[in-house]
Structure 1
């Protein structure tokens, strides 16, 4: 079964095709042969601009998660031997605070169909019964419908293509590394008491909580997953991913200034 032949999906793809072709024709006097790539960048910026209110909600959700983190840790300690009770108590806490564990995931979920449509636009030879002219469009001589993995597998990869793929894929990886460094979990700074006044720790007591090493590693890996995906999807979809991760980084930096992270009060 060809999912792209399903009438509602076919109509969406055809509408996106006409929009992208119209933008490419509009930009062509300025961008020349790179007009379709520039149109993809423009569409990405429009989508991300429309999601700014969602990004604000995401920033607020992050602050709320930081606020209730100590309460969640206490629930996990208290009900560690009763998973069902722990789940109920955690959901009750989220409900009482007016948030949820999935708060802030909407930007990612909304963009999944957008990436899917761009992917379809550059793999289908025909759209709504007419030839797909986008397949003949290029960026730096590389067809927008080709992928790095596809060119390597078919033996059509040329050194000149390495520049285009390198800018997109390594650019995504670089943004991921900057994001990982800027937004890595921070350990709260505790006031240092005078040596003479420092009491001996109670048996079984733990020091200040630090981010688990496994969590930090997992977050770092996830940041580079988009770069791996860009190796296998059409170059057009890779361009979309590059622009959107760069936008996400800039937006998070701005929103962090507007909604700075909550600092938990230090305890004696």
Structure 2
């Protein structure tokens, strides 16, 4: 139990903030105050961890700048996967760009997302938040609890938004792979490349699958954080004037 004490404390603190936000927003949003508080709180968390995203984008730009050399190595050592891997890692090391550095920000973000999940998917001792409603649907309602008119309308809109965001993210992932010659930091040619090239663009759609089994509060969180990620991609990963800024 002690191992979960810090997580429970963090979740309780998050619940306190969400409750305060809901009370503050109530005069403006009425019965949707808790739903609005969840959205606002999620945006605040994403702003807090935005420096990690900036570090990730800088690493991506460094790797993108190496794309021509990566493709040259892929052609040169197409028949020697072992030599290709060693040459690629040597190239990244000389340029100060790790092919796996982009994973670190995601790992550091995991504790924040775990707290969000415990609060918005399970309540974690704060079930009063899930008793509030959005358009007549309790925030603790699952699709499996039954389909009524309001449930179909609310979940339908949110799932449609998630589908559009997943499609956009998958499309961007394919374009990024074509531009940099890598998929998730690995070369697009070589062992496992075909599997990665097929799997990575599908990953954004897992958010939609998760939304089918979690309560409405968690779906609101997923939509907000996914939309924020898409906005970051559009702003931070837009083409740079005069070429790629690798700083």
Please give the alpha-carbon distance, in whole angstroms, between the structure 1 residues aligned to 2:242 and 2:217.
36
- Work out which of the residue numbers 36, 42, 45 in structure 2 matches 1:44: 42
Alignment-derived partner of residue 166 in structure 1 = 156
Partner of 2:62: 64
Q: What is the CA–CA distance in structure 1 between the aligned matches of 2:210 and 2:69, rounded to whole Å?
A: 37
Contact 1:169 1:230 in 2 (8 A): yes
Query: Which region of structure 1 is more displaced relative to structure 2, 175-184 or 57-66?
Result: 175-184
Please list the CA deviations of residues 101-145 of structure 1 after superposition, one character each: whole Å capped at 9, or x if unmatched: 223334533443333223222454662xxx631121121222222
SS of 2:99 mapped into structure 1: coil
Which blocks of at least 5 consecutive residues in structure 2 are unaligned? 180-187
Match of 1:253 in 2: 234
CA distance in structure 1 between the aligned counterparts of 2:124 and 2:175, rounded to whole angstroms: 47
TM-score where L is the length of structure 2: 0.77
**Deviation string, structure 1 residues 205-262 (Cα, Å, up to 9, x no partner):** xxxx99x997665444223221122112222221112112222222222223463695
> How far does residue 32 in structure 1 lie from its aligned partner after superposition?
1.4
Alignment of 1:1-268 (within 5 A): 6-79=4-77, 83-124=81-122, 127=125, 132-148=127-143, 150-151=144-145, 156-181=146-171, 184-185=174-175, 217-257=198-238, 259=240, 262=243
Structure 1 match to 2:182: none
Q: Which has the larger radius of gyration?
A: 1
Query: Closer, same or farther in 2 for the Cα pair 1:147/1:259, shift >3 Å?
Result: farther
Cα distance in 2 for partners of 1:165, 1:105 equals 31
Distance of aligned partners of 1:260 and 1:222 in 2 relative to their CA distance in 1, 3 Å threshold: farther
How far off is 1:169 after superposition? 1.3
CA distance in structure 1 between the aligned counterparts of 2:46 and 2:221, rounded to whole angstroms: 11
TM-score with structure 1 setting the length: 0.72
Q: Whose helix proportion is higher, 1 or 2?
A: 2
State the number of aligned residues: 232
Root-mean-square deviation (Å): 3.3
Provide the C-alpha distance between the structure 1 equivalents of 2:108 and 2:158, rounded to a whole number of angstroms: 22
Quote the Cα distance in structure 1 between the aligned partners of 2:123 and 2:167. 36
TM-superposed CA distance for 1:162, in Å, is 0.8
